[in-house]
Chains A and B, each alone.
Chain A
């Protein structure tokens, strides 16, 4: 199975362990990731602030580049996933725009997936269960979805926007015990982290507090900006560790922490309890 991979800019920076764990995991799952040739930035939040036309403009080029591979696209970063999918929808609804940016019709039909979406299908929950080698039942993760994987629901068409379950189902399949908690789809403050740090600290504090009260011993997310904010803006004596979904699934499959990039985390460089508690 070939999958077109859109790593996103954070793969070379703050989200490096997400990139490393995703590629390692896909290899173990027998999925051939092929990087989209010469992809460019999706524009994240900033593009739309400068111009409402910029999202479609930037991602039309990405979709064109992806059309050459003709495979479903995996965009693990939630922002990239959201922007690509929004732009694709807008181009699909407005053929004149698609003609203007010279986007081939094939590019508008390509499936765009986020990481949980891909895992649910390739390899699927049953197959994942069979592949588990390491017992991770000591992990009680709070699955944190954040915003952009789910919202706006009419464009994302992935899971339930208010009560999603896909990450919990995956985490359960690989042997962890996800907790029930309510701050799963609350915003972490996103790109305001660098400019209004106090507000982001407040948001992160609320999210972490909720997870802790619901007896989570770690958070699991699938967005590099969420993880960066949750890691850097947590205050207090004993911060709650944060991991990527790909790392936890990879660890359950018996992959090495170094291959999964786990030592790169700022808070906890090994899965909670891995040293025997």
Chain B
């Protein structure tokens, strides 16, 4: 739509950087025509064209820049996302990079730029194993697993888990058993997971071996105070949804709380 480095602008809509790195990924909301190669935008242009955005994004996947997004993310994750200066140490040491679409440092940059849809629909936020290698090494003391999980919880609240349905179904099934019993229950969790993903035959042989060794309890253990645990879970989920809704610029009714609300 435009040549690299320039930017096509529809007044009142988003500004897009062009084909060189991303396809139409908007940079910011603008009120009038702007040329991003103009000197006053040089910083912005460089930031988004830089080596951390080398990956080519899906051209059909447009995303909206949301100026309030970074504040919401800071609040939810407890990490000051704005501090990230793109050194790339998190990406260099990430053990699950092979499963990701955006690198961890790209998620940080995109979040800073308010590219809400881009990060919320990314597979990365679900693939983060929470090993916290990045947290141990980040020179700015940020814990990216907190950021990824906060993003995943937002995606959950909005019911947009299509980037990694299996992983979302796993977490949901796990917490379903905790909500019901107060403790996690492997056999029940696996059953729910299989119902949700419809992959009934996966790992059945492994399950049989574990069962033969007495390592898959047939009957669940439960907590006497499981009603209290259920209440704690319900309130925490409610609080996340309210935080997500309290921010202007976010869609109000999308997904209506998502499946996790049940």
With contacts A14-B216, A48-B153 taken as known, whether A199 is within 8 angstroms of B182 at the C-beta atoms is: no
Which of B169, B182, B206, B236 contacts A41, CB < 8 Å?
B182
Q: Which residue of B lies closest to A150 (CB)?
A: B136
Kindly supply a per-residue 1/0 record for chain A positions 131-161, scoring 1 wherever the CB is within 8 Å of any chain B CB and 0 otherwise: 0000000000000000110111110000001
Judge whether A151 and B129 touch: CB under 8 Å: no
The CA-CA distance from A48 to B152 in the complex, in Å, is 9
CB distance from A189 to the nearest CB of B (A): 6
Q: Which of B214-236 contact A (CB under 8 A)?
A: 214-217, 221, 223-226, 228-229, 232-233, 235-236
The CA-CA distance from A152 to B197 in the complex, in Å, is 32
Chain B interface size, under 10 / 10 to 19 / 20 to 34 / 35 or more: 35 or more
> What are 16 A-B contacts with C-beta separation under 8 Å?
A9-B185, A12-B217, A13-B187, A40-B182, A44-B174, A49-B168, A53-B239, A54-B233, A57-B236, A58-B229, A147-B132, A150-B136, A152-B136, A194-B190, A263-B213, A264-B215
**Seed contacts A52-B149, A151-B133, A232-B210; 11 additional CB < 8 Å A-B pairs:** A46-B178, A52-B76, A53-B239, A57-B232, A61-B228, A187-B96, A187-B129, A189-B95, A192-B129, A195-B170, A202-B98
Binding site for A on B (CB under 8 A): 76-78, 95-96, 98-99, 126-127, 129-133, 135-136, 141, 143, 146, 149-150, 152-153, 156, 164, 166-172, 174-175, 178, 182-187, 190, 193, 197, 202-203, 206, 209-210, 213-217, 221, 223-226, 228-229, 232-233, 235-237, 239-240, 260
Binding site for B on A (CB under 8 A): 9-10, 12-14, 16-17, 38-41, 43-54, 57-58, 60-61, 147-148, 150-154, 161-162, 185-187, 189-192, 194-197, 199, 202-203, 232, 263-266
Q: Return the 4 tightest CB-CB contacts between A and B, nearest first.
A: A187-B131, A151-B132, A147-B131, A46-B174
